[in-house]
């Protein structure tokens, strides 16, 4: 087993043992669920690109995150080796960069070569040192084993955007020569490109069409996406499909279900959990729009910014630049307020289970969602918190690790029926699940979560004609409370544990606020 599945300690293990040993009669009758895995239906291979990441030049995502020249934990090139080692555990298949809103003031040629100069970033009101550019990003991706995904500055000229593709992918010519002069003779082979970030309107869409044509003229093999929808509305302008659809391979959508951009919010566990069915509804609406346009199967979904919480950046919208003095005390205070997103206590079992809910939604749309990128990958609201002395794996880091490492490569339909948890006018199912299988159809891995904050659930699982009985290997993620979190002093309060699940006549007890992935055979 991987190192991330070490013991969670005596206290939490004792808590789990107590639930596992509970007799069925001790669980309230109202807390019940059933999962019928449709092994009779064809399995669909899903795209592991849904486990992707996103990094932007804001806060400590890059500088003080992945890249910290001079740190005793960094190598000579400035890369934090402990951060790279941790992210490798997630098997991140793709990283989107450099923005986000940051990209609207970014010009790639200023970030290559030896003569780089800092500049004032009017999107985020800070001085950008410009030491992390295209070559450093590609190097980061190579070290992690991720495909690079570049988001273009759509406010720049079409020529500038096409030239960036040429610089990265050409083997001969002006920009291949420039890349060679800058120390990299071989092409970077960047496959994924986005025309801009969170833009709308006819003018933007016209530019998407023309830019996609220009970029594919440089390299016909690339995949191009653009802004489809961002925010709670999943509406996609039909003009986008009519005008640019023939030149797109993907459509980018963004959503953060707790919008902390300007007002920092700290909702409790149950309030967060009430949001956990929204990714399914959001994807249903987006896929419906693509299908209505007649482009389902032609254009896939890239959910390339998502998270339960957005990071906090008061006073700077990102979409509306302003010239600011970084020495202005008001600006300094606004930038300092961004550190509220780094508070460890925010990232509880709610984040872990919401993350699982999001992945389940993607896996229920395997032919439509071919990429997703958690925003962000390190620091701010990301799964990995990086500090000067080391790293802390937040609760949702472990969800990502479990899904990326423990699920099988094909997904099968599962009918889940569950009692519901209610808060005010909102409710969600206590139990959600996804079933995966290998190419042989024999090795199954089923991810199951109990969202209830304090009570166990009796869950019956059907897989094949015979009831599931006996003891099965599993990996459990839970905490000593729904509000459990990891921090520098207690980095292992919430970590996965290899354990066993005991089924009796197909029924198992699921502990509260927990995620479990269990290995099951198909009964003959």
Q: In the beta sheet, which residues pair with residue 463?
A: 37
Give the mean model confidence (pLDDT) for residues 315-320. 77
The residue assigned the tokens 């409370």 is: 481
Reported as a pLDDT band with limits 50, 70 and 90, residue 367 is very high
Residue 392: its H or E element? strand 390-393
At 316, the pLDDT band (50, 70, 90 cuts) reads: confident
**Cα–Cα distance, 375 to 383 (Å, whole number):** 9
Coil vs helix vs strand at 450: strand
Pairwise pLDDT comparison (147 vs 322), residue with the higher score: 147
Q: Which whole number is the average pLDDT over 59-88?
A: 97
Task: Determine which of 4-8, 203-207, 314-318, 327-331 has the lowest per-residue pLDDT on average.
Answer: 4-8
Strand ranges across the sheet with 507-510: 414-418, 32-37, 457-463, 507-510
Quick check: helix, strand or coil at residue 480? coil
Residue 418 in 3-state DSSP?
A: strand
Residue 136, both tokens: 């450093």
Question: What is the spatial distance between Cα 451 and Cα 24, in angstroms, rounded to a whole number?
Answer: 19
3-class secondary structure per residue, 231-276: CCCCCCCHHHHHHHHHHCCEEEEEEEEECCCCCCCCCCHHHHHCCC
Give 76-134 pLDDT, tens digit per residue. Answer: 999 999 999 999 999 999 999 999 999 999 999 999 999 999 998 888 988 999 999 99
Mark 469-484 as b/e (b = at least 16 C-beta within 10 Å).
Answer: eeebebbbbbbbbbeb
Report the C-alpha gap between 74 and 16 in whole angstroms. Answer: 39
In sequence order, the β-bridge partners of residue 444 are 437, 520
Phi (first) and psi of residue 299, to 5 degrees: -120, 125
**Beta bridge mates, 498:** 475
Main-chain dihedrals φ then ψ at residue 460, nearest 5 degrees:
-105, 130
pLDDT averaged over every residue in the chain: 93
* Residue 4: predicted pLDDT: 38
Q: How far apart are the C-alpha atoms of 99 and 151, rounded to whole Å?
A: 6
List, in order, residues 6 or more apart from 367 with CB less than 8 Å away: 44, 297
The torsion of the CA quartet 193, 196, 198, 200, rounded to 10 degrees, works out to -120
CB of 302 closer than 8 Å to CB of 225: yes
Report yes or no: 274 and 427 within 8 Å, Cβ to Cβ.
yes
Q: Name residues whose C-beta falls within 8 Å of residue 28's C-beta, 6 or more positions apart in sequence.
A: 455
Q: Residue 508 pairs with which residues in a beta bridge?
A: 459
Average pLDDT (244-263) is: 97
Q: What tokens does 411 get?
A: 């997904």
The tokens describing 190, both together, are: 């960047």
- For strands 223-230 and 192-195, give the pairing: parallel
**What are the pLDDT digits (tens) for 386-429?**
999 999 999 999 999 999 999 999 999 999 999 999 999 999 99
Q: Structure tokens of 380?
A: 């701010």
Residue 103 CA: distances (Å) to CA of 55, 133, 191, 195: 11, 12, 18, 10
Contacts of 507 (CB under 8 A, 6+ apart): 24, 458, 459, 460, 461
| pLDDT single digits (tens) 337-355 | 999 999 999 999 999 999 9
Q: Of the candidates 170, 174, 172, which has an alpha carbon nearest to the alpha carbon of residue 189? A: 170
Q: Exposure pattern of 24-52 as b/e (b: 16+ CB <10 Å)?
A: eeebeeebbbbbebebeeebeebbbbbbb
Q: Inform me whether the pLDDT recorded for 3 exceeds 50.
A: no
Per-residue pLDDT tens digits for 197-234: 999 999 999 999 999 999 999 999 999 999 999 999 89
In this predicted model, what pLDDT tens digit does every residue of 135-184 receive, in sequence order?
A: 999 999 999 999 999 999 999 999 999 999 999 999 999 999 999 999 99
How far is Cα 89 from Cα 486, in angstroms, rounded to an integer? 17
Q: How confident is the model at residue 524 (pLDDT cuts 50, 70, 90)?
A: low
Q: CA-to-CA distance for 83 and 65, rounded, in angstroms?
A: 7
Of 308, 290, 309, which Cα lies nearest the Cα of 369?
A: 290
Whether 440 shows a pLDDT value over 70: the answer reads yes
| Segment among 251-265, 321-335, 399-413 with least mean pLDDT | 321-335
| Cα 492 to Cα 12, 290, 343, 448, distances in angstroms | 11, 43, 16, 22
| 3-class SS of residue 325 | coil
d(CA 413, CA 94): 26
pTM recorded for the entire structure: 0.94
Residue 404, pLDDT score: 98
Among 236-240, 243-247, 328-332, 478-482, the range scoring the smallest mean pLDDT is 328-332
DSSP string, 206-236: HHHHHHHHHHHHH-TT-EEEEEEEESS----
What confidence score (pLDDT) does residue 319 get? 74
DSSP secondary structure string for all residues of 465-476:
SSPP-EEEEEEE
476-513: pLDDT as tens digits: 999 999 999 999 999 999 999 999 999 999 999 999 99
- As given in the structure block, the two tokens for residue 289 are 């729009």
The 8-class DSSP code of residue 484 comes to -
pLDDT band at 523 (very low <50, low <70, confident <90, very high): low
Give the span between the Cα atoms of 310 and 384, in whole angstroms. Answer: 15
pLDDT tops 70 at residue 15: no
Domains of the chain: 3-45+410-521 (2.60.40.1180), 49-406 (3.20.20.80)
> Is there a contact between 66 and 140 (Cβ–Cβ < 8 Å)?
yes
Nearest Cα to 237, choosing from 286, 194, 279, 281? Answer: 286
- Which tokens is 18 given? 């107590």
Neighbouring C-alpha atoms within 13 Å toward the C-beta of 192:
30
């Amino acid at each position: 087993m991987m190192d991330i599945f070490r013991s969670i300690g005596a206290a939490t293990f004792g808590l789990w043992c107590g639930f596992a040993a509970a007799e069925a009669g001790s669980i309230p009758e109202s807390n019940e669920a059933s999962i019928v895995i449709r092994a009779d239906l064809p399995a669909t291979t899903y795209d592991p690109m849904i486990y992707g990441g996103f990094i932007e030049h804001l806060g400590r995502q890059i500088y003080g995150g992945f890249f910290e020249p001079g740190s005793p934990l960094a190598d000579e090139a400035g890369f934090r080796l402990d951060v790279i080692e941790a992210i490798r555990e997630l098997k991140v298949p793709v990283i989107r960069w450099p923005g986000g809103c940051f990209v609207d003031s970014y010009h790639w040629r200023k970030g290559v070569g030896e003569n780089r100069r800092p500049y004032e970033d009017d999107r985020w009101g800070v001085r950008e040192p410009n030491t992390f550019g295209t070559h450093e990003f590609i190097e980061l991706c190579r070290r992690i084993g991720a495909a690079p995904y570049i988001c273009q500055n759509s406010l720049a000229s079409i020529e500038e955007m096409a030239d960036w593709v040429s610089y990265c992918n050409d083997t001969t010519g002006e920009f291949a020569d420039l890349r060679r002069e800058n120390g990299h003779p071989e092409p970077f082979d960047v496959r994924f490109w986005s025309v801009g970030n969170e833009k709308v309107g006819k003018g933007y869409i016209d530019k998407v069409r023309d830019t996609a044509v220009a970029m594919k003229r440089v390299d016909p093999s690339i995949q191009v996406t653009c802004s489809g929808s961002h925010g709670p509305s999943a509406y996609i302008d039909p003009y986008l499909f009519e005008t640019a659809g023939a030149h797109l391979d993907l459509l980018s959508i963004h959503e953060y279900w707790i919008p902390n951009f300007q007002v920092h919010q700290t909702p409790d566990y149950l309030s967060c959990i009430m949001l956990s069915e929204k990714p399914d509804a959001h994807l249903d609406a987006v896929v419906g729009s693509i299908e209505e346009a007649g482009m389902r199967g032609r254009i896939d979904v890239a959910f390339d910014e998502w998270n339960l919480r957005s990071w906090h950046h008061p006073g700077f919208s990102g979409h509306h630049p302003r010239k600011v003095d970084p020495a202005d005390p008001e600006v300094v205070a606004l930038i300092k307020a961004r550190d509220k997103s780094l508070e460890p206590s925010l990232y509880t079992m709610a984040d872990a289970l919401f993350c699982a809910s999001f992945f389940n939604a993607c896996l229920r749309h395997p032919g439509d969602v071919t990429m997703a990128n958690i925003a962000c990958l390190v620091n701010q609201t990301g799964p990995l918190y990086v500090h000067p002395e080391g790293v802390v794996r937040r609760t949702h880091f472990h969800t990502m690790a479990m899904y990326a490492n423990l699920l099988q490569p094909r997904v099968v339909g599962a009918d889940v029926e569950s009692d519901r948890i209610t808060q005010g006018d909102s409710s969600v199912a206590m139990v959600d699940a996804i079933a995966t299988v290998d190419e042989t159809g024999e090795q199954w891995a089923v991810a199951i979560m109990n969202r209830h904050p304090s009570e166990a659930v009796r869950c019956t699982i059907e897989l094949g004609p015979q009831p599931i009985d006996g003891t099965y290997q599993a990996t459990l993620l839970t905490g000593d409370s729904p509000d459990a979190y990891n921090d520098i002093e207690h980095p292992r309060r919430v970590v996965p544990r290899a354990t066993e699940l005991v089924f009796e006549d197909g029924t198992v007890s699921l502990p509260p606020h927990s995620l479990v992935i269990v290995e099951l055979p198909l009964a003959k």
